[in-house]
C-alpha cells in the first residue's frame, strides 16, 4: 500500500484539542475498516503544522478520512522511497 505524508495547518492547539483530534481520527479510521492506516505524526508548534504519515490506497482515501474527522489536509505527498543513515554506513 502506498505511504503518504500529509501536511496539516492547525495553528496552536492545546493538549486537549490535540487529544480530541487524535481520538476523532482513530474513530474515523476504525469506521473506515482499515482502508487508511495512521503510522505517526510530528507536531511543529513553531509552524502551526502537523505532519502525518499514513498508508492508504490513494490520496482520495486520505481526503475522505480528513473530511470525516474534521481535519485539514493541505498537502498530500506520496512517498516513493524511505532512506535512513544506516543505509549509507
pLDDT at 68: 98
Residue 89 falls within a domain, yes or no? no
Its domain, for residue 75, covers 3-80
Count of structural domains within the chain: 1
Rounded to two decimals, what is the model's pTM? 0.91
pLDDT at 74: 98
Which DSSP helix (H) or strand (E) runs through 23? helix 15-31
pLDDT per position as a tens digit, 8-38: 999 999 999 999 999 999 999 999 999 999 9
pLDDT at 30: 98
pLDDT at 51: 98
Residue 53 falls within a domain, yes or no? yes
Residue 85 falls within a domain, yes or no? no
pLDDT per position as a tens digit, 39-85: 999 999 999 999 999 999 999 999 999 999 999 999 999 999 999 99
Residue 10 falls within a domain, yes or no? yes
Residue 48 falls within a domain, yes or no? yes
Residue 14 falls within a domain, yes or no? yes
pLDDT at 11: 95
For residue 54, the domain's CATH number is 3.30.70.3090
Amino acid at each position: 500500500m502506498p505511504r503518504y505524508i500529509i501536511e496539516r495547518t492547525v495553528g496552536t492547539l492545546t493538549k486537549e484539542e490535540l487529544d480530541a483530534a487524535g481520538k476523532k481520527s482513530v474513530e474515523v479510521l476504525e469506521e473506515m475498516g482499515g482502508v487508511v492506516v495512521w503510522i505517526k505524526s510530528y507536531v511543529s508548534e513553531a509552524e502551526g503544522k502537523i505532519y502525518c504519515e499514513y498508508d492508504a490506497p490513494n490520496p482520495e482515501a486520505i481526503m475522505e478520512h480528513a473530511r470525516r474527522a474534521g481535519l485539514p489536509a493541505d498537502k498530500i505527498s506520496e512517498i516513493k522511497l524511505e532512506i535512513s543513515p544506516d543505509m549509507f554506513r
